[in-house]
Amino acid sequence: MAALHERLAADCIELGRFALCRLLLMNDANYPWFILVPDREGVEEIWQLDESDRLQLLQESCFLGERLAECFCADKMNVAALGNVVPQLHVHHVVRHRDDPAWPAPVWGRVPARPYSEAGLRHLRQKLRGCLGERVTWEPEPAAPV
């Protein structure tokens, strides 16, 4: 498995895996914000993937975007691969609503990140399992504190 860039590891929660990509959740409850990271070492640009991986990334991205839009009643899906801060290829999928804190501007740097509570994260994981189903191999949920 390719190493995850330290910034992604620090800012995100690993939820599971598609056939090619890791599925991450940005730890910011202001927006349902997910990131696909292809499991390929040293890849910074989509064109650096071989053709079959490019197609797989596109399929996973389209599936994720469509399912998130439906499950979260998105007004708009923002899907982008920027890489200016984190060079490792990763594709953001941000569910946008007209009443979100940054609408209609981009989400980056608009309001301070609001980390998920344990209950909020548990609820989101359950919703995603219903939304994305068996296309994702899910990471085990952390045990609840006793």
- The confidence score (pLDDT) of residue 146 equals 54
Sheet with 33-38, edge to edge strand ranges: 76-80, 91-96, 33-38, 21-26, 12-17, 137-138
Q: If we measure between CA atoms, which residue out of 53, 126, 50 comes closest to residue 37?
A: 53
Domain ranges of the chain: 6-133
Whether domain 6-133 has CATH 3.40.50.620: no
Please write the tens of the pLDDT for every residue from 21-71: 999 999 999 999 999 999 999 999 999 999 999 999 999 999 999 999 999
Q: How many CA atoms lie within 13 A of 121 on its CB side?
A: 19
Residue 145 — very low, low, confident or very high, per pLDDT cuts 50/70/90? low
Give pTM, 2 decimals.
0.95
Please write the tens of the pLDDT for every residue from 83-110: 899 999 999 999 999 999 999 999 998 9
Dihedral sign computed on CA atoms, order 130, 24, 95, 144:
positive
Query: Cis peptide before 104, with omega less than 30 degrees from 0?
Result: yes
